[in-house]
Amino acid sequence: MKKKIAIIGSGIAGLTIANLFKANSNFEIMVYEKEKILSLEEGYGIQLAPNSISILNKIGFLNINNNNLFNPLVLNFYSGDDKKICNLDLSNFNSEKIKYTTLRRSTLIEFLKSNLFANNIRFGKEIKKVSKIKEKLLINFKDNTNDLVDYIVVSDGVFSNTKSVIENKNNNPSYSGSIAIRTLLQSTQDFIYEEKSISLIMLKNAHIVIYPVNKDRKLNIVTIIRQKLKTNIDARALIQKEILSQNKNLENLFKGNLESWPIYTSKKPSKSIYENLFYLGDAFYTFHPTMAQGASQSIEAAYELFNLLSKDSKAVQNLYFKKRLEKTKLINSRSKLNYFSFHLSNPLMVKARNFLLKKITKKEKFLNKYLGSIYKTI
Ligand SMILES: Cc1cc2nc3c(=O)[nH]c(=O)nc-3n(C[C@H](O)[C@H](O)[C@H](O)COP(=O)(O)OP(=O)(O)OC[C@H]3O[C@@H](n4cnc5c(N)ncnc54)[C@H](O)[C@@H]3O)c2cc1C
């Protein structure tokens, strides 16, 4: 008999695992999404490293319209006064069909959705209660419907309300101490950075990441600023105070609409009280964005969980958790180091960082350890 899986949340994590299981006739999937429709608003751009592209290729990503993607070959580091410090060759991690990719989140969501049938997703669904009935899990939804399933995958994002309901305890993430401000820019002749690369501009207590999200010269700009948590963020005033005060030339980047949000990260990875319930993506662990691995890890974890469940391995919960914990620790340590070094203000420390960056970006052995261990394809 087919095993039934309920997937809670239709973000990158939920839709990826739904796509993987869809091709396996031993499973029946249903995605339950809280919202009334799939959010295809532009959203921010995302970077997908080879570790996630290799998995997406298994579900048809190579067929996506190439104009809606970009494959940056280089990451350029700049100091706050626009001086290029050095570059990192991203193409070292690429192979013929598996390339570091940047795109809009909506492009990825649309692709993942297009492979599913309309009857694989139900909208306006939120879990009220989960209870164990013999080997199965009974889900009661807030609209008084229910579903009896073999497995539940919870992928409802950073605030995971489902987790709080199921585990019956407070699992709130913590404020990371920084705010993200995002805008889109049509590249112009005035653009002073290399438009076909990823640019990372390091300032005092802030950094800016710029990259193309398609072949149409549309650039995604994300600025991360250290800041106390506020209920109302005036993004333009913040850019003026924390960024343009350091470098007036950056003004051209921020002429469009600015969107802002506080960044939250998880306190620890999540493991359920139920053997057959798994947390995936940001609901498992939300990273700080300085390694740009949140989406890639959601995809990688989806593939790991899919493989474990497909093989009907014993102790899936423990195997899945152990592997994820290792990866989470690895990325977390690098994210924290990046966050610290991108935001230095002491001129001596800045000088030392720039000197070190120039050295290590050319050291193959170091790069293979620092990035290669994360970008490694499955
Ligand atoms: C500034 C910033 C930049 C980033 N840049 C990158 C990057 O360059 N590269 C990268 O890899 N990652 C990046 N990330 C991280 C990445 O976007 C996330 O890690 C990824 O989107 C997580 O996907 P998810 O499916 O777990 O969650 P989400 O995408 O948040 O999806 C959760 C889904 O669950 C639904 N939902 C919520 N509550 C419920 C409920 N109670 N019941 C049912 N459904 C529910 C939501 O509506 C949503 O559809 C960035 C993050 C930030 C903040």
Adjacency order of strands within the sheet including 146-149: 127-133, 136-141, 146-149
Q: Is the CB of 75 under 6 A from ligand 1?
A: no
Binding site membership of 292 for ligand 1 (Cβ less than 6 Å): yes
Residue with CA closest to ligand 1 atom 4: 289
pLDDT for 231 equals: 84
pLDDT at 42 over 80: no
pLDDT band for 43, please (50, 70, 90 cuts).
low
Give the per-residue pLDDT at 152: 98
Q: Is the pLDDT of residue 313 over 90?
A: no
* 307-316 average pLDDT score: 89
292-305 per-position pLDDT tens digit: 999 999 999 999 99
Note the maximum CA span of the chain.
Answer: 66
Helix, strand, coil % over all residues of the chain, rounded to 5: 40, 25, 35
Residue 335 has pLDDT above 90, yes or no: yes
Atom of ligand 1 nearest to the CA of 162: 41
Q: Is the pLDDT of residue 234 over 90?
A: yes
Nearest CA, atom 38, ligand 1: 156
pLDDT single digits (tens) 194-203: 988 999 999 9
Measured from the CB, is residue 108 less than 6 Å from ligand 1?
A: no
- Looking at the DSSP assignment, which residues form a beta bridge with residue 306? none
Superfamily of domain 3-70+104-172+266-342 in the CATH hierarchy: FAD/NAD(P)-binding domain (3.50.50.60)
Question: What is the model's pLDDT at position 189?
Answer: 72
Antiparallel, parallel or unpaired: β 277-279 and 151-154:
parallel
The predicted-structure confidence for 105-136, as pLDDT tens digits, reads as follows 999 999 999 989 889 999 999 999 999 999 99
Beta strand 74-79 with 127-133 is unpaired
Res 348 pLDDT > 70:
yes
Check pLDDT > 90 for residue 327: yes
Q: What percent of the chain has pLDDT over 70?
A: 99
Taking only the tens place, the pLDDT of each residue in 165-192 is 999 888 899 999 999 999 999 877 778 8
